[in-house]
Structure 1
């Protein structure tokens, strides 16, 4: 059920400061190149998991790793970036097929050319994770930053994980669940036309193995399918 992929790509040019929506669009386009039918079903939430009003699309992705910020955008000092994708195997397979057909992804006017992909194990050998995209906690129409309300942040992320578990497995999560954020720092970013208050950091999660595996593959918090809350092993 779970799959995770690392993509290494050659970056040519300057990447826009607020590139996250462009990156999501490029990933979805590549999935469409691999399977138009699957991409359409993903877009229409036909393969999503739900818990009441909460909808979880079976895709998560990181931000681009290896960038240096400049005044007019981001550049890759070594002309190379890393991208992680995860969650459901058929979605990741479609992305890989799209890359095989055309290894180029366009982020605005910048070209990312895939040079290598590697499948990663979704096995949480530790309960400490680093965020490879900022974690978004949203509650009652506002974004929650750990630095200003740590208790509510932990509550919102924990509730989201429990809901995601129920949506996927069709039952309540009955095990232990404790979130211990460390070395967090807030980030205010733009995704398309709206602003998001999110949180970088290290996340120690005390939970049962199946919950840790879900967190590693699917991400934590809100907006995993649009590039928020993806984790990697620390």
Structure 2
């Protein structure tokens, strides 16, 4: 399930360059059912020691300028935000709540001028374009985090393992086939370094091919690929 939220506001929306957490907070604040919000925020769906929130979102889409001196990004109205989830209760609550009231992002009052619900079914071989960076990483025994680039085998391995774990966590059963691959569509990737709440996260923008089980590709479409989806990573569109 996916919605494209169009947000309108007066003059401009000024945000820090690293605004992922602001958008995450915006989403959580607009879940009306507080028990549901607490479940998604604090627990989610478990696989071993991992907890998956089962949603992802894009960067803000629209016209902007960057003020390098103040390290701010300045958006002109309107902007769009893509929010995607396989968790129906979360998706419906958020969608209905946003249509009922004015909202606020970083102190700027906004109104939801339009909301488009997308119903798309990915194919078994599907080209995708990232709407927020995809990140794949390992945490070593010493606590150090190692990030992998798209041309590294571990990048592909970790993304496949991640979607299998998410499938089991949400559906409580193994997927009907483990066939899932991510492949580079070209070598034109842009590395994006994000400071999220004091932690440095490395991700990549660009285009890929997803191949394999359509159920897992659909779950990836709904919840994102790679890690840290609920922090604004791994959202993509079908192309």
Q: TM-score normalised to the size of structure 2?
A: 0.86
Contact 1:181 1:204 in 2 (8 A): yes
SS, match of residue 204 in structure 1:
strand
Contact 1:5 1:86 in 2 (8 A): yes
Structure 2 unaligned segments of length 5 or more: list them: none
Give the aligned partner of residue 149 of structure 2. 146
Find the aligned partners of 2:109 and 2:227 in 1 and give their Cα distance. Answer: 28
Contact 1:30 1:105 in 2 (8 A): no
* 2:194 counterpart (167, 182, 189): 189
Give the aligned partner of residue 132 of structure 1. 131
* 1:60 counterpart (56, 76, 79): 56
1:61-101 deviation digits (Å, cap 9, x = unpaired): 11111143412322234x11111111112111111232133
SS, match of residue 127 in structure 1:
strand
Find the aligned partners of 1:20 and 1:39 in 2 and give their Cα distance. Answer: 18
Q: Are residue 201 (structure 1) and residue 203 (structure 2) matched? A: no
Q: 1:143 to 1:121 in 2, by over 3 A?
A: farther
SS, match of residue 82 in structure 2:
strand
- Deviation above 6 Å: which 4+ runs of structure 1? none
Q: Are residue 17 (structure 1) and residue 20 (structure 2) matched? A: no
Q: 1:40 to 1:216 in 2, by over 3 A?
A: same
Find the aligned partners of 1:21 and 1:65 in 2 and give their Cα distance. Answer: 16
After TM superposition, the structure 1 = structure 2 runs for residues 80-99 of structure 1, keeping only pairs within 5 Å, are: 80-87=78-85, 88-99=87-98
Structure 1 unaligned segments of length 5 or more: list them: none
Give the aligned partner of residue 41 of structure 1. 39
Contact 1:13 1:111 in 2 (8 A): no
Find the aligned partners of 1:204 and 1:230 in 2 and give their Cα distance. Answer: 14
SS, match of residue 124 in structure 1:
coil
After TM superposition, the structure 1 = structure 2 runs for residues 101-180 of structure 1, keeping only pairs within 5 Å, are: 101-106=100-105, 108-125=106-123, 127-140=126-139, 141-146=144-149, 150-173=152-175, 174-180=177-183
Give the aligned partner of residue 236 of structure 2. 231
Find the aligned partners of 1:157 and 1:39 in 2 and give their Cα distance. Answer: 27
Find the aligned partners of 1:37 and 1:171 in 2 and give their Cα distance. Answer: 25
Find the aligned partners of 2:42 and 2:155 in 1 and give their Cα distance. Answer: 30
Find the aligned partners of 2:80 and 2:203 in 1 and give their Cα distance. Answer: 21
Shift, 1:41, TM fit? 2.0
After TM superposition, the structure 1 = structure 2 runs for residues 67-86 of structure 1, keeping only pairs within 5 Å, are: 67-71=63-67, 72=70, 73-77=72-76, 79-86=77-84
SS, match of residue 100 in structure 1:
helix
Find the aligned partners of 1:76 and 1:193 in 2 and give their Cα distance. Answer: 24
Q: 1:202 to 1:58 in 2, by over 3 A?
A: same
1:21-61 deviation digits (Å, cap 9, x = unpaired): 01110111011xx222211222231xx22221121112221
Find the aligned partners of 2:223 and 2:120 in 1 and give their Cα distance. Answer: 10
Give the aligned partner of residue 216 of structure 1. 221
Find the aligned partners of 2:60 and 2:52 in 1 and give their Cα distance. Answer: 22
More deviation, 200-209/125-134: 125-134
